[in-house]
Structure 1
Amino acid sequence: MMSGNYTAIDNEKVSGSVPAAPDQGHVAVKFADSDLQTFPPSEAQGKISGASRPPRDADDTFSKPVSGSEEAQQSSWFRTFTIAAYKPYFDVDTADVLERIKYSLFPFRGTFTEKTANSPDLYGPFWICTTLIFVAASIGTFVTYVAHKLKKEQWNYDINLVTWAAGLFYGYVIIVPLCLYVILKYFSAPAGLVQLFCLYGYSLFVFIPALCMSVVPLDIFRWVIAGVAGFMSATFLALNLRAHIMSAGERWFFIVAGIFVLQLALAVVLKFYLFTVSV
């Protein structure tokens, strides 16, 4: 039987046992520097300062095609048919649109292109043209309806007024900037195509209140309204494009004059087909 006395074994060698390792004090472990990129911890561990974040393209450096390669050109071409390519041009709020509309109503400032040089939008032009279409159709419908009721005649809605107005406004704000873009490119004074769409779209806003005032059954008053609206719109375009087109050489004046006259011609067309409602 084992006795109650115990013998302490301190650093003694016992047959069949492993010798105890002597205490050598604190040993510092050094790690060699690694070339691996250190990513910041997850957001759950706390906020990370901007200096410690990886570069924005750290996760897709190897997935991007080489600039100038055939793959890059195809990717750029196919991107024009995606919604993401046009999303930045609709990224505006109500305050931005209202401010740009305000600038379009003061044509003599000529600072619209400077204000929208870095952020042209297509949201405002789209809704301005759409509003013009519905205002033109509704005004014409309302006037003819009242006139027929006063004469106690049968009234029928004319759907052709909507389709005609849609073709006029959408066609004008797309085709004319495209043609001007080609002309400026030919004269070595290229302008941004989206910037031209934006400029021409906002130039049409003045015709919305003009169409609303055309309900007054006085032909001379309608001529004045159409003339003032056309002059304001044409001046807005000419003054905002003049500084840029002057770099095209000696022919800059003819280009600006053509823009001004074409916008006035639009006002004349609107006078005969929209500002004049016949019963």
Structure 2
Amino acid sequence: MAREQYSVVVEMDDTPVIREELEFQRKITQDKQQSSNNSGFNDTSFFETRTPQNAPQGGHPLWSIEYYAQYFDVDTEQVLTRAAKSVLPKENFVDVVGSNPDLYGPFWISTTLIFLLFVTSSIAGSIEAIKNGENPNYDFKILSFGVVAIYSYAFGVSLFVWGALKYFGCRPSLLDTVGLYGYGLTIWLPISVICIVPFDLVRWILVLVGFAISAFFITKNLYPVISRAEAKTSRLFLILVLIAHAAFAILLKLEFFSY
């Protein structure tokens, strides 16, 4: 009898413990599900951005080449698809990129744009010089200016936007923000070639078209993140993003498409 009573007492004492453990595990699962249901970019720390699906296991130190190589591991088809989606922004860019964000596309597009701006401005300048009876003169200063202007916008402005959004608690992703601004330059590639035409009105129209498409692409994908801030802050921040983008478009027109 004593053994049976002791057995009953143990069972009654264990039951609340088991229930508490089950409730604790259920709460952890619910918290994880809620944190994974955020719209827009993911919540990450500075370097813990959305990790690509093909990232090597075990991790690499921040100063190693292997750490950054994972963000350049994309094929040509992926880059071209993402670039095309930025020109025809029907889908959310986060859905297009999926679990494999990259830095190769932004770097390749920015570098190609710098090259095209230098070549087209040099050709147009040479044509004007020949018309005026002068010898063609290639201005390599515009190449240096293009490097500073394009890289500053693609990577500097995107980094600033990411930092500001993180400050206001909007939980942006660094990789997504840089990719957004980098791929947003795609529309300027054909425009930089077409703007070689000797009609300034046509150039202005092309610049307006480029501004409209790229601005829509950037704001459409940034809005879900910006809207996480309070209403007044989100509206002001969205206006500042558009002003910065308009300034960039005007810079392209005055410095590269005026000849």
Pairwise TM-score range, normalised by the shorter structure: 0.7 to 0.9
Misfit runs of 4+, over 6 Å:
none
Match of 2:161 among 171, 180, 185: 180
Higher relative contact order (CA 8 A, sep 6+): 2
Q: How many angstroms does 1:172 deviate by?
A: 1.1
Q: Which amino acid aligns with 1:256?
A: L
Match of 2:235 among 243, 253, 259: 253
Find out whether 1:200 has 2:151 as its counterpart. Answer: no
Find out whether 1:86 has 2:59 as its counterpart. Answer: no
Find out whether 1:102 has 2:102 as its counterpart. Answer: no
The gaps in structure 1 that reach 5 residues or longer are 1-74
Q: Which amino acid aligns with 1:203?
A: G
Q: Which amino acid aligns with 2:70?
A: P
Find out whether 1:160 has 2:160 as its counterpart. Answer: no
Find out whether 1:272 has 2:254 as its counterpart. Answer: yes
Distance 2:102 2:65 in 1: 15
Match of 2:125 among 144, 163, 177: 144
Distance 2:91 2:200 in 1: 32
Distance 2:138 2:257 in 1: 18
Alignment correspondent of 2:23: none
Contact 1:110-1:239 at 8 Å conserved across structures: no
Contact 1:89-1:120 at 8 Å conserved across structures: yes
Distance 1:79 1:162 in 2: 34
Give the number of the structure whose alpha-carbon radius of gyration is greater: 1
Distance 1:79 1:253 in 2: 39
Q: Which amino acid aligns with 2:146?
A: A
User: Percent identity, aligned pairs only?
Assistant: 32
Contact 1:113-1:199 at 8 Å conserved across structures: no
Alignment correspondent of 2:220: 239
Match of 1:210 among 169, 185, 191: 191
Q: TM-score, normalised by structure 2?
A: 0.74
Two-structure CA RMSD over aligned residues (Å): 1.6
Q: Which amino acid aligns with 1:200?
A: Y
Q: Which amino acid aligns with 2:160?
A: C
Distance 2:91 2:255 in 1: 30
Q: How many angstroms does 1:152 deviate by?
A: 2.8
Q: TM-score, normalised by structure 1?
A: 0.69
Alignment correspondent of 1:226: 207
Distance 2:132 2:67 in 1: 54
Distance 1:237 1:115 in 2: 14
Contact 1:203-1:236 at 8 Å conserved across structures: yes
Contact 1:223-1:271 at 8 Å conserved across structures: yes
Distance 1:135 1:175 in 2: 21
Match of 1:133 among 80, 100, 114: 114
Q: Which amino acid aligns with 1:225?
A: L
Q: How many angstroms does 1:117 deviate by?
A: 4.5
The gaps in structure 2 that reach 5 residues or longer are 1-57
